[in-house]
Amino acid sequence: MHVFEVLADPVRRRILELLGPGEMASGEVVEAIGAEFGITQAAVSQHLKVLRESGFARVRADAQRRLYSVDAAGLRTVDAWIGQFRSFWEPKLDALATEIARGKRDRRNAPLTKRTGKRA
């Protein structure tokens, strides 16, 4: 399932928000989500499965319990896609700040022409 399809569901987004502060047992998630959305334990479990398989959540076993936590991989993928448009709403960053913020990752394929135009 594509990363954006994963986040298209409000229940899954909410689960990630719940996991943000730290890991939570499946049962705790079921309780919180159940209260907010009124869906069953099975439904929540299915959502957790999607989050797992798409790289948004990790699990580890603790006896019968399954402790879930945020996996950055999925979120990163989303951020990368959004990032290609970042100049649309963050044009105020000066070049240096952008360099720092982006970890210089753009440097390799920097378009030599069409820079700020200040000099060329």
| DSSP H helices in the chain | 3-7, 10-19, 26-37, 41-53, 72-83, 95-102
For its own copies, what does the binding mask look like between residues 6 and 45, x meaning CB under 8 A?
Answer: -xx-x--x--xx--x-------------------------
14 scored as a contact of DNA (CB under 7 A): no
Exactly one of 40, 62, 81, 115 binds its own copies (CB under 8 A); which one?
81
Exactly one of 27, 79, 95, 106 binds its own copies (CB under 8 A); which one?
79
Separation between Cα atoms, residue 20 and residue 52, nearest integer Å: 15
The three-class DSSP label of residue 26 is helix
**Token digits for 103?**
């970890």
Binding site for DNA (CB under 7 A): 1, 5, 8-9, 11, 25-28, 30, 37-43, 45-50, 59, 61, 63-66
